[in-house]
């Protein structure tokens, strides 16, 4: 009887040791496992591209050192500049005119607590980029602010300043699709393999 | 009541939190050196310092300034002797004068952050301050002059 108890004890401890070496169950990805599909991925990215190249997004991702304004993407009045931190220069800092929220009225300054351009060392230019160039840029942590694909999705889907584009204040046109639809296309683009469009895609 | 500090003096202001800071400064506190120009942050006549930054008081709500330090043209120096004010006098910068308090408040931020500004630095800092009389050349010259005076003063 004693021997049975001892053997049972040894078996119990051994099973505990074995169980402790079990690999952890795979953590669920934040996007569903969808088979890689270059055509579907590129199609989704082209929807994303249309949003990113719309005025509400592109005006603060200019190719030059000044932000843009309006649906015609003209250079910001006063020729304000990016500055090192993307928040302007001297007496022309963004938050000197742009408040934490939109100022009510037509042609009044829009606002957000984070209002500004990307910083000088991470310019994240959208203006003038082809679909292929922009896709590759967005996927490159050296050019996208150090973001992983999951962080890229999170930024597009949840960031407050990105979200301003869908609440831009009086007189400003909206991006060509809703934010949930946009976020879904970003997820789809990445879930299907994060393919960049071909060089010929315009 | 909203508590603000203007030119070192504390004020308890009984006003709508959405009231523009400019209204509070001019109509409630009674400091009329800061001017109303466009009401849309486009001209710079209403520029004051909020914690040292040159904000447009016409679009800055009083609740943003609550508990903060504000400096208006009346508080830029103790005796109208900021190098910019001395240079402005010496170079006869103002014509009608309406925009000049805003010009001075913007220029003061430039000189604080860049004691030796180039013409490009002046353009970058001052392009948001409109002068209907077109005194821009004199403004530029006076900023250079004030920068010189500031450097000379620092040597003494």
Q: What is the DSSP letter of B128?
A: T
> For the residues of A23-88, what is the DSSP string, one character each?
PPPPPPPSS------HHHHHHHHHHHHHHHTSHHHHTTS-SSSS-EETTTTEEPGGG----TTSSE
In a domain, A165, yes or no: yes
In a domain, A26, yes or no: no
Residues in chain B with CB shorter than 8 Å from the CB of A103 are 41, 59
In a domain, A23, yes or no: no
Q: Do B41 and A109 touch (CB under 8 A)?
A: yes
pLDDT score of B153: 81
Residue of B45, B127, B128, B136 best to disrupt the A interface, most CBs of A under 10 A: B128
Q: Do A91 and B114 touch (CB under 8 A)?
A: no
Q: Do A77 and B106 touch (CB under 8 A)?
A: no
**Residues in B 65-104 with any Cβ partner in A closer than 8 A:** none
Distance CA B31, CA B8 (A): 13
Local confidence pLDDT in tens for the 202 residues of chain A:
667 666 666 666 666 555 555 555 555 555 556 788 999 999 999 999 999 999 999 999 999 999 999 999 999 999 999 999 999 999 999 999 999 999 999 999 999 999 999 999 999 999 999 999 999 999 999 999 999 999 999 999 999 999 999 999 999 999 999 999 999 999 999 999 999 999 988 7
Using DSSP's 3-state secondary structure scheme, residue B147 falls into helix
- Is B64 in CB contact (< 8 Å) with chain A? yes
Q: What is the DSSP letter of B27?
A: I
Q: How far is CA B3 from CA A75, A86, B6, B70, B79, in A?
A: 38, 31, 10, 11, 26
pLDDT score of A83: 97
pLDDT score of B1: 92
pLDDT score of B61: 98
For strands B47-50 and B53-56, give the pairing: antiparallel
Distance CA B73, CA A118 (A): 33
Residue with tokens 């843009």: A68
Q: Do B61 and A99 touch (CB under 8 A)?
A: yes
Q: Do A100 and B125 touch (CB under 8 A)?
A: no
Number of separate domains in chain A: 1
Q: Do B123 and A79 touch (CB under 8 A)?
A: yes
- Weakly modelled stretches of chain B, pLDDT under 70: 155-156
Residues in chain B with CB shorter than 8 Å from the CB of A96 are 41, 47, 53-56, 128
Predicted model pTM: 0.88
Please tell me which residue of chain A has the smallest CA distance to B18: A103
- Is B146 in CB contact (< 8 Å) with chain A? no
A-B C-beta contacts closer than 8 Å: 66
CA distance, residue B6 to nearest chain A CA (Å): 17
Residue numbers of the domain that contains A145:
36-191
- Is B53 in CB contact (< 8 Å) with chain A? yes
For strands B2-6 and B9-13, give the pairing: antiparallel
Q: How far is CA B2 from CA A196, B65, B69, in A?
A: 54, 9, 13
In a domain, A10, yes or no: no
- Is B109 in CB contact (< 8 Å) with chain A? yes
Do the beta carbons of residue A127 and residue A63 sit within 8 Å? yes
pLDDT score of A9: 65
In a domain, A24, yes or no: no
Distance CA A56, CA A167 (A): 10
- Between A89, A103, A109, which is nearest B124 by CB? A89
Q: Which domains does chain B have, with CATH numbers?
A: 2-75 (3.10.20.30), 83-155 (1.10.150.120)
Q: Do B121 and A90 touch (CB under 8 A)?
A: yes
């Amino acid at each position: 009887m004693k021997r049975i108890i001892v053997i049972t004890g040894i078996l119990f401890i051994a099973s505990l040791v074995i169980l402790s070496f079990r690999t952890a169950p795979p953590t669920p990805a934040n996007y569903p496992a969808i088979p890689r599909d270059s055509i579907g991925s590129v199609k989704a990215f082209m929807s994303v591209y249309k949003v990113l190249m719309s005025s509400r997004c592109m005006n603060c991702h200019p190719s030059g050192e000044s932000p843009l304004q309006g649906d015609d993407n003209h250079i910001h009045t006063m020729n304000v500049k990016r500055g090192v931190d993307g928040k302007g220069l001297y007496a022309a800092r963004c938050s000197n005119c742009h408040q934490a929220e939109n100022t009510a009225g037509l042609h009044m300054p829009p606002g957000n607590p984070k209002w500004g351009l990307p910083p000088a060392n991470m310019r994240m230019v959208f203006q003038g980029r082809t679909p292929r160039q922009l896709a590759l840029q967005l996927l490159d942590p050296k050019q996208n602010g150090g973001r992983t694909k999951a962080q890229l999705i999170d930024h597009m889907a949840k960031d407050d300043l990105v979200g301003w584009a869908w609440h831009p204040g009086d007189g400003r046109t909206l991006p060509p699709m809703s934010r949930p639809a946009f976020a879904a296309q970003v997820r789809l683009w990445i879930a299907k393999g994060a393919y960049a469009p071909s060089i010929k895609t315009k | 009541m909203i508590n603000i500090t203007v030119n070192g003096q504390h004020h308890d202001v009984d006003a709508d939190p959405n009231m523009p800071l400019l209204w509070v400064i001019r109509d409630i506190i009674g400091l009329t050196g800061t001017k109303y120009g466009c009401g849309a942050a486009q001209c710079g006549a209403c520029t004051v310092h909020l914690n040292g930054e040159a904000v447009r008081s016409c679009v800055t709500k009083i609740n943003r300034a609550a508990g903060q330090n504000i400096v208006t043209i009346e508080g830029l120096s103790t005796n109208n002797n900021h190098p910019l004010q001395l240079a402005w006098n010496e170079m006869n910068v103002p014509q009608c004068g309406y925009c000049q308090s805003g010009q001075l408040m913007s220029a003061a931020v430039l000189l604080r952050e860049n004691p030796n500004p180039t013409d490009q630095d002046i353009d970058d800092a001052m392009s948001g301050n409109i002068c209907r009389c077109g005194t821009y050349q004199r403004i530029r010259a006076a900023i250079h002059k004030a920068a010189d005076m500031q450097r000379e003063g620092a040597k003494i």
